[in-house]
Amino acid sequence: MNNIISTGNSQKSILGIGNALVDVLINITDDSVLQKFGLPKGSMTLVDATLSAEIKKETKNTNRIIQTGGSAANTVHGIAKLGGKCGYIGKISDDDFGNFYLDDFKKNQINAHFFFSETGTGHATGLISPDSERTFGTYLGAALELTPEEMIPDIFSNYGIMHIEGYLVQNHALIDAAMSIAKQNGLLVSIDMASFNIVEENLDFLHGIIRKYVDIVFANEEEATALTGKNPEEALVEIAEMCSVAVVKLGANGSLIKSGDRTIRIDAISAKSIDTTGAGDIYAAGFLYALAENLDLEIAGKIGSLLAGNVVEVIGAKIPLETWEKLLPQIEIMKVN
């Protein structure tokens, strides 16, 4: 076994923490709507309920898909499809979106640790450009009200890895509390940087928590550059000096993994990309599932790459059931080779 870190047991459960959001995914014919509402292409921008409604109104004649979403939730969803043990902490409301969310998690046998709010369930409007890039205008709603006090130590006790999304960085105290409790309970801590603009706005905080708590960092090219000011290859080296495992995702060019003195390049699979929504989330699902199974880092990267290459061929962050039926036997072979 060559991987630097191990969860210790034959398999460990993975706990995700994030903004519980319903994704409303909309194909746009050009990027003019992004400019109209001041949404930087490829970013996640927080919007209020009014602006969220205006974006939906502007695109009302365009095809859309509604799915459960949120970065860490997408990752946990993927882990569940792989057969991994997993749970999720989030905050929703007792409304249509919230009930839709809860039903989906029950159906997929994800151990849900949901808190409830009077504020409406959050939703993210994902605008998919013709080049398949996605831009989110996100109304956090109830998700914004998840608090440090709700990070109850008992929730963490049955897990081996905690995966937290960078989108939660608007609440520094929440992230600090969750990571601190996770480490006290012996969990490995994983974070996905989430969006380059969020990294830029919270640079000092992110550097601090990575060095203090984090074992595994996931970042795409833009996020890695925002975090370090360097190109992806150099950024990988700097991030790996802060934590045990650094992963920089390069889209169609694959991904880079570094742990200690070991650097691994993972090729992307051949794919016809129509929507990049959830590609990084599902890559993390494959990677963390493999680590929970105590598989080598290279196998983890290959499973992540396989999943990411399949999700970009569909609209939304969820791989269709019929595709999972083809992928799972391939992954079982990868696990033993």
Tokens (6 digits) for 67: 């799915």
Sheet holding 134-141, edge to edge: 44-46, 134-141, 121-128, 21-27, 64-69
Start-to-end C-alpha separation, the chain: 12
Kindly report the CA angle at 108 between 107 and 112, in degrees rounded to 5?
90
Of 316, 321, 333, 336, the closest CA to residue 65 belongs to 316
Q: How many CB atoms lie within 10 A of CB 332?
A: 11
Report the pLDDT value the prediction gives residue 1, as an integer from 0 to 100.
Answer: 26
- Computed from CA positions of residues 15, 299, 310, 83, in that sequence, does the dihedral angle turn out positive or negative? negative
β-sheet bridge partners, residue 88: 16, 112
pLDDT tens-digit readout, 190-200: 999 988 889 99
pLDDT tens-digit readout, 89-115: 999 999 999 999 999 999 999 999 999
Report the pLDDT value the prediction gives residue 11, as an integer from 0 to 100.
Answer: 52
β-sheet bridge partners, residue 220: 249
User: What is the value of pTM for the model shown?
Assistant: 0.89
- Under a CB-based contact definition with an 8 Å cutoff, are residues 329 and 41 in contact? no
Q: Who's near 169: CB < 8 A, 6+ residues apart?
A: 175, 194, 198, 202, 205, 206
Report the pLDDT value the prediction gives residue 3, as an integer from 0 to 100.
Answer: 35
- Under a CB-based contact definition with an 8 Å cutoff, are residues 67 and 316 in contact? yes
Report the pLDDT value the prediction gives residue 114, as an integer from 0 to 100.
Answer: 96
Report the pLDDT value the prediction gives residue 332, as an integer from 0 to 100.
Answer: 95
pLDDT of the chain along its 337 residues, tens only? 233 443 443 358 999 999 999 989 999 999 999 999 999 998 889 899 899 999 989 998 888 889 999 999 999 999 999 999 999 999 999 999 999 999 999 999 999 999 999 999 999 899 999 998 889 999 999 999 999 999 999 999 999 999 999 989 889 999 999 999 999 999 999 999 988 889 999 999 999 999 999 999 999 999 999 999 999 999 999 999 999 999 999 999 999 999 999 999 999 999 998 888 889 999 999 999 999 999 999 999 999 999 999 999 998 889 999 999 999 999 999 998 7
Tokens (6 digits) for 311: 């999700």
CA–centroid distance for 153 within its chain: 23
Neighbour-count burial for 152-183, b at 16+ CB within 10 Å, e otherwise? eeebbeebbbbbbbbbbbbbeebbbbbbbbbb
- Under a CB-based contact definition with an 8 Å cutoff, are residues 142 and 116 in contact? yes
Using the 8-state DSSP alphabet, how is residue 269 labeled?
Answer: P
Domains of the chain: 14-20+69-123+147-336 (3.40.1190.20)
- Under a CB-based contact definition with an 8 Å cutoff, are residues 103 and 16 in contact? no
How would you class 191 by CB atoms within 10 Å of its CB: exposed for 0-12, middle for 13-18, buried for 19 or more?
buried
